[in-house]
Amino acid sequence: MYAVFNDYILIMKQPLLGKTLSELQDLCLQLSMPKFTAKQIAQWIYVKHVHTIDEMTNLSKGNREKLDLLYCVGCSEPIEVNRSIDGTIKFLFPTEDEKFIETVYIPDGDRATLCISSQVGCKMNCLFCQTGKQGWNGNLSTRDILNQVYSVDQFLMEEKKTALTNVVYMGQGEPLDNMDNVMKSLEILTSDYGWAWSPKRITLSTVGLKKNLQRYLEECECHLAISLHTPIHEQRLQLMPAEKQFAIHDIVEFLKGYDWSHQRRVTFEYTMFGGTNDTPLHSRELVKLLSGLECRVNLIRWHKIPDVPLKEVENRSMESFRDYLNNHGITTTIRASRGQDIWAACGLLSTRKQMEQ
């Protein structure tokens, strides 16, 4: 790519970060570089985390110069870092098309999870989620998705904090609505030429876009989390407009027909609202809905956001709900709420303020 400025051609360098091995091989062939150079480039980026092409010292000087003419590594640092009293850290990242996204680092003993975004805003417009209130402003590129991991890795090394052990696609956006870029990012995270992470360290959360859900299950082995929030169709439709096209009963029936004999895990996320979806009726209906499916339920505390007529749930209600499900054979836990003081807890991520500046 290039732009014309005062009769001069300004070359817009493309990022290497986010390219798969096959894409790097095509790139090398186009530049008349040996095909094996692609694996060397991948190692420098995904294993050694270099920031410049000149650091790729096992490439000849001539090949580095050819590469540097058109490409850059493409990593970028966060432009804002917010720290919670509980150790959670929220990062604000610029995207390739000059928008912004938020990413959350959640340490927990010897574990550390990074909650990454896949879109700027979200189309799903769930009633209870702050991200949906900003609307949808575009898909993240594979580079934008992976830069969150790349940059935070570097940040943690510099601050001598617990290294990442898990990644969850639970930040801004619906991952399966940005299917191609999300799947490429998963390939790079789990491939030998990339981060070489076990798929069991990665979880993707979705409202349940059925066609893309099937592709996800067929093409990768990462864990799955389904945003459920109520087992009652009419109520889920009010909370989540996606229920109209992707009814939770249809999603569950589809999952019941899938082979879960391997180690992949399916979890149902259930954000609780006081007096709305925390009643004995809801717990009974949830047991009926999930009966026969090997799964677990994660109960999530909702944090109030402006102009939404829902109430926060009481502890005793969550505990009673959890105990009922556990007593009826559904493994259920209550997710610890983290980072609420910096608006980093579940459902609170939004970059509208920065985008309007």
Whats the size of the chain, residue-wise?
357
Task: Say what the alpha-carbon torsion angle 141, 147, 149, 152 is, to the nearest 10 degrees.
Answer: -150
Distance of alpha carbon 76 from its chain centroid, rounded? 18
Q: State how far the Cα of 42 lies from the Cα of 111, in Å rounded to an integer.
A: 27
Q: Are 332 and 326 in contact (CB under 8 A)?
A: yes
Contacts of 278-285 with CB under 8 Å at 24 or more apart are 278/313, 278/317, 278/318, 278/321, 280/324, 282/230, 282/231, 282/232, 282/321, 283/321, 283/324, 283/325, 285/231, 285/232
322: helix, coil or strand?
helix
Residue 160 region by backbone torsions, left for phi larger than 0, else alpha for psi between -120 and 50, else beta: left
Pairing of strands 266-272, 331-334: unpaired
Q: Are 235 and 272 in contact (CB under 8 A)?
A: no
Q: Residue type at 188?
A: I
Q: Pull the structure tokens for residue 7.
A: 């009769």
Catalytic hit among 28, 115, 220, 346? 346
Pairing of strands 331-334, 296-301: parallel
Tell me the C-alpha to C-alpha distance, in Å, between residue 3 and each of 7, 13, 74, 315. Answer: 10, 11, 18, 57
Q: Is 72 one of the catalytic residues?
A: no
Catalytic hit among 75, 102, 122, 129? 102
- Which letter does DSSP use for residue 61 in this model? H
Q: State how far the Cα of 131 lies from the Cα of 124, in Å rounded to an integer.
A: 9
Q: Is 220 one of the catalytic residues?
A: no
The residues that are catalytic are 102, 346
